Structure formats: structure tokens, C-alpha cells
């Protein structure tokens, strides 16, 4: 942070204080609107905040994995493993229910195997072949002395037809919920976190296989007890994604100030600070590159002592062990601070990026294919020793490059190879605010693509239940229904700089 940014922050601090009250009011209203986001068996209804925290019960049940920030993938007819904490129980039951969809599918899962290891329970669950391809909440039901206790996680299980060598990823970074610096770029779109929400809306339309968010999800740098508000709001906004999301922390997520430790909030809302997961034969590592000791993450007033990169020796060893155990077709790593660049200037004490060279050595030794990062608020693409380093601009904060803009990056894998990652050459990501859609009525949607590139989008129609529907353009990729209505998913190509109307017709 240079002197210019500090002066700007001081200038807008008063503005933030004025808007804080309205922000809190907005958060309260959204929470009220989402009081019942899924139906739990036994008539139990939960508010959105209950999903990521323990439901307070004498059984102290807690799902450790999967989470909305680290979802599990499973094929139809396949299986996945759930990790949970619980006191004594007589039986357990697990089911999944569609996340935030008007047509709710509720699927009971069969427990194939259950075991305990180091006070944590593990259960392997099989998915029925008839399960629709969707993103699901997961609910664990514990039976103990004829009493039943529930614990749920939203958006925690993604059911797919099968793993493929063709898939797409959106790389989003520097989400910055609560960050006032967006006022510098566009005050209208900063108020109410509109820019961040717009990115979510557009990404849902593009409908990638999953999203990776590489840090700085919140701001955490202005006023006392800021994290308690921003993490809650960030969690609520992330629930708007209708595709799986995977997260790693950045420096703004982990400052220590006013009796608050950002990384403790991260663990409470999002889980572990680093982890890995597989998508078929493709391996992904989520790294905490703000791995400093608590005192090294201290902020005084709103000025942090240090906002540069650090990967401690313990995490570094975990990274090496994880890479050594993998035989994936492609390996991806995502973290906030790009290890190609030292971050000495990102510290009032001039501390450099700790273990940066060691990180680069691991990337080279174990042939990591892609490293995704953020932090700098502009786009960059660099290839070193056959490793592709992708840095993506911010979604809603201040910009650090003359050619920078708000946006996100689409990465496409074809036939097991990295096929594309730039919206425009040589480095640029997709600029936000160039994809828009609206529903004229129940059967008609209008999509406007102002990008200089064709895109494929997914539209979800909620219509009365009828035997057969036909789209005027594109193709129906899925239908789900209940007794009264259908939810129809239409995939359609929208040519560059064009507008298209997509309608559904039906047979009487």
C-alpha cells in the first residue's frame, strides 16, 4: 500500500462510516428474505447462517467436509466421503437436497462404510444413479437415544454425470466484500456490493464446472469488529453461486486487529486454511499465502504492518507431500500471492515473500501445470519452465494497472489439455458488466452479450408442469420437476456483441 492509497483511504473513511448503517440494514433484510432456504426432514427449518455453524444440540454434531467452500464431487452411481464430529450415536442418516432451487429434489444416500479415526468420523456414501446433475446441500441426521439431531452444509455436494477431460473453471479473485476502494472506480456499483454480486450473476450465466476464488474475499481493515460483519455478508453472497466454489485466503482475510483475527473467522465460515481436492484425474491445491504468525498480521488503525506473501515451513512440507502423492493428468495450484514476485514492498517492515523460492522449486520439481493468483488487481500471464502463472484482476476493488478493469478469467480444458485462458491476448480476463439477461415472462429470456467473443450460457426456466417443452434456440440439457412445475435448463450460444431472445414453447 503506497502513500497515495493511504490518503485515499483516509478520504473515504468518513464515507464508509456513513454507509455502514445502511450496509448492516441490507444484510439484515437479505437474511430475513432467506429464512427458509431448504427443507430439513422432521420439519426443521434453518436460517442461512445455521448451515455453516454448528446447530446447537446435545449431540454436538459438526460436518467438517464437504463444505460450501470445499464441496465434494461425485458421479451418478459413484460415492464420496463425509467427515464429521459427533458424540455417541445409535444411527446416522445422510441426504442431499438441491440448493436454492424452486424445484427441490431430496435424495437419500446409502452409507457404504463408516469408521472413526482420531476423534473424527468418516462415512463413505453412495449416490443413486437417478440423482439429477446439480449442486446440493447435505444434511447429516444423528439418532441418539431415540432423539434426532441435524447438521447441514449448503452447496456442499456437486453431482455430475461423469468426470470428463473437457471442463471449464472460472478464476475469480480479490472479491473484497466491504472494501471501500471500489468507490475510486465506480461509486454506484460499489454501494451494496453490486460489482461483486454482478460477477456472481454473470458467472452463473456462463455456468462453469466450478469456480476458484484466490483470496481477499473481505476487506477487514477499517473499523472495529469489521470481520464479524464482512464474513457473514460474504458468506451470504457466495450462496448465490449455483456452481461449486473453492476458496483460499488472502491478506485482507487474515489481518489481526481489534480483538479480531481474520483467519479465525475464515476457519469458522470456510474451513481449513489450505487443502487439496481432485476433479476426476485433475488435482488442485489451495494454498494459504498469508501464513504469517499473528503478530506479523497486525494492523494499527487501518494500516497493516504487512500484506505480503508467506508460506510457513509446515505448510510447505504439506505441499510437497501432497504433490508427491499425486499422479494427476494436470496439477493446478491457487493462492493469493504469485510466487514469481517478491512482496517486500508489501510490508512496512520490508519483509520479503517467505519461502517464495522454495515454493517455486516445488512447482518446478513436481511439474505443476497452472498457478492461479491475485493480489495485484490487474491481469498477468507468465510462463516459466512450462508452468502457466495466471494472475487475474479484482472483481470490485481499486485497479493497479492502466489497462486493468473489474473482471474474472475463464479457463477451458479440452481433451485433457489447457485450451484457453485469455479473453483477449496477451493476458486479459473477461470484463464484468458485459453480460446481461432478464426474463420477460415465465417462458421468455433475453440475453445481451456486449463482449467481443461468443459465449455459451445456461438459462434456468421455472415453468408450469407440462409434458414437452421446446426452446426457440439452444438445447435443453436438463429437466427437473415436482407435482406442479418444471425447472428447465437451456444451454445456448450468444454471439459476440449481440442480443438473443430465448423462449420455451409447449405442446398442449
| Span 235-291, pLDDT tens digits | 999 999 999 999 999 999 999 998 899 999 999 999 999 999 999 999 999 999 999
Q: Is the pLDDT of residue 13 over 90?
A: no
Q: What is the pLDDT of residues 67-104, one digit of tens each?
A: 999 999 999 999 999 999 998 899 999 999 999 999 99
Q: What is the pLDDT of residue 507?
A: 85
Residue 99 has what DSSP assignment? S
- The average pLDDT across 121-134 equals 98
Q: Is the pLDDT of residue 483 over 70?
A: yes
Q: What is the pLDDT of residue 12?
A: 46
- The average pLDDT across 445-466 equals 98
H or E segment at 262?
A: helix 262-270
Q: What is the pLDDT of residue 283?
A: 98
- The average pLDDT across 10-22 equals 39
- 375 — pLDDT class (breaks 50, 70, 90): very high
- 229 — pLDDT class (breaks 50, 70, 90): very high
d(Cα 61, Cα 152) in Å, to the nearest integer?
10
DSSP state string for 20-62? HHHHHHHHHHHHHHTS-SSEEGGGEE--HHHHTS----TT--E
Q: What is the pLDDT of residue 475?
A: 98
Q: What is the pLDDT of residues 20-65, one digit of tens each?
A: 333 333 333 323 322 222 222 322 223 333 443 333 444 578 999 9
Mean pLDDT across the chain: 90
Q: Is the pLDDT of residue 230 over 80?
A: yes
Q: What is the pLDDT of residue 21?
A: 36
Please indicate, yes or no, whether the overall pTM of this predicted structure exceeds 0.85. Answer: yes
Percent of the chain at pLDDT exceeding 90? 85
Q: Is the pLDDT of residue 106 over 80?
A: yes
Give the chain's domains with CATH numbers.
Answer: 3-28+163-431 (3.60.21.10), 47-160 (2.60.40.10), 435-506 (2.60.40)
- 436 — pLDDT class (breaks 50, 70, 90): very high
Q: How far is CA 137 from CA 151, 201, 327, in A?
A: 11, 20, 30
DSSP state string for 380-408? EEEEETTEEEEE---SSS---STT--SEE
Residue 218 has what DSSP assignment? B
Percent of the chain at pLDDT exceeding 70? 88
Q: What is the pLDDT of residue 28?
A: 31
Q: What is the pLDDT of residue 302?
A: 83
Q: What is the pLDDT of residue 496?
A: 98
Q: Is the pLDDT of residue 414 over 60?
A: yes
- The average pLDDT across 481-498 equals 97
Does residue 43 have a cis bond before it (omega within 30 degrees)?
A: no
- The average pLDDT across 209-229 equals 96
Contact 155, 135 (CB under 8 A): yes
Amino acid at each position: 500500500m503506497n502513500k497515495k492509497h493511504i490518503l485515499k483511504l483516509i478520504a473515504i473513511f468518513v464515507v464508509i462510516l456513513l454507509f455502514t448503517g445502511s450496509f448492516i440494514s441490507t444484510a439484515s433484510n437479505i437474511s430475513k428474505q432467506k429464512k427458509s432456504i431448504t427443507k430439513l426432514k422432521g420439519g426443521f427449518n434453518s436460517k442461512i447462517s445455521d448451515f455453516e455453524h454448528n446447530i446447537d444440540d446435545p449431540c454436538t454434531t459438526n460436518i467438517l467436509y464437504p463444505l460450501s467452500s470445499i464441496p465434494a464431487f461425485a458421479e451418478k452411481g459413484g460415492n464420496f466421503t463425509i467427515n464429521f464430529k459427533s458424540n455417541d450415536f445409535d444411527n446416522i442418516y445422510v441426504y442431499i437436497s438441491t440448493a436454492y432451487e424452486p424445484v427441490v429434489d431430496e435424495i437419500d444416500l446409502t452409507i457404504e462404510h463408516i469408521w472413526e479415526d482420531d476423534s473424527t468420523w468418516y462415512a463413505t456414501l453412495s449416490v443413486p444413479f437417478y440423482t439429477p446433475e446439480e449442486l446440493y446441500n447435505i444434511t447429516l441426521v444423528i439418532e441418539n437415544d431415540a432423539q434426532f439431531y441435524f447438521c447441514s452444509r449448503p452447496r456442499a455436494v456437486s453431482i455430475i454425470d461423469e468426470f470428463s477431460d473437457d471442463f471449464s473453471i472460472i478464476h475469480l479473485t480479490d472479491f473484497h466484500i466491504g472494501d471501500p476502494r471500489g468507490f475510486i472506480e465506480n461509486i454506484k456499483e460499489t454501494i451494496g456490493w453490486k460489482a461483486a454480486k454482478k460477477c456472481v450473476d454473470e458467472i452463473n450465466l456462463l455456468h462453469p464446472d466450478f469456480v476458484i476464488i484466490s483470496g481477499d474475499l473481505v476487506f477487514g481493515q477499517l473499523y472495529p469488529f469489521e470481520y464479524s460483519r464482512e464474513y457473514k455478508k460474504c458468506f451470504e453472497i457466495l450462496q448465490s453461486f449455483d456452481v461449486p466454489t473453492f476458496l483460499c485466503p488472502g491478506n485482507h482475510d487474515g489481518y489481526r486487529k481489534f480483538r479480531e483475527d481474520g483467519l479465525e473467522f475464515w476457519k469458522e465460515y470456510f474451513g481449513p486454511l489450505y487443502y487439496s481436492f481432485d476433479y476426476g484425474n485433475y488435482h488442485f491445491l489451495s494454498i494459504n499465502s498469508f501464513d504469517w504468525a499473528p503478530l506479523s498480521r497486525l494492523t494499527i488503525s487501518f494500516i497493516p504492518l504487512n500484506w505480503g506473501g508467506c508460506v510457513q515451513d509446515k505448510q510447505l512440507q504439506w505441499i510437497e507431500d501432497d504433490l508427491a502423492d499425486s499422479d494427476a493428468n494436470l496439477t493446478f495450484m491457487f493462492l493469493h500471492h504469485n510466487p514469481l514476485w517478491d512482496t517486500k514492498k508489501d510490508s512496512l517492515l520490508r519483509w520479503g515473500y517467505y519461502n517464495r523460492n522454495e515454493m517455486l522449486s516445488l512447482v518446478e520439481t513436481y511439474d505443476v501445470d497452472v498457478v492461479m493468483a491475485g493480489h495485484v488487481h490487474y491481469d498477468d500471464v507468465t510462463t516459466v519452465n512450462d508452468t502457466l502463472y495466471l494472475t487475474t484482476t479484482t472483481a470490485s476493488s481499486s485497479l493497479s494497472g492502466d489497462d486493468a478493469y473489474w473482471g474474472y478469467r475463464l479457463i477451458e480444458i479440452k481433451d485433457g489439455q489447457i485450451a484457453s485462458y485469455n479473453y483477449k491476448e496477451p493476458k486479459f480476463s473477461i470484463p464484468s458488466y458485459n453480460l446481461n439477461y432478464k426474463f420477460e415472462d415465465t417462458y421468455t429470456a433475453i440475453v445481451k452479450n456486449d463482449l467481443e467473443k461468443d459465449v455459451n450460457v445456461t438459462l434456468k426456466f421455472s415453468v408450469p408442469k407440462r409434458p414437452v417443452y421446446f426452446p426457440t434456440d439452444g438445447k435443453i440439457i436438463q429437466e427437473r420437476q415436482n407435482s406442479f412445475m418444471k425447472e428447465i435448463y437451456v444451454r445456448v450460444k450468444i454471439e459476440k456483441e449481440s442480443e438473443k431472445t430465448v423462449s420455451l414453447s409447449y405442446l398442449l
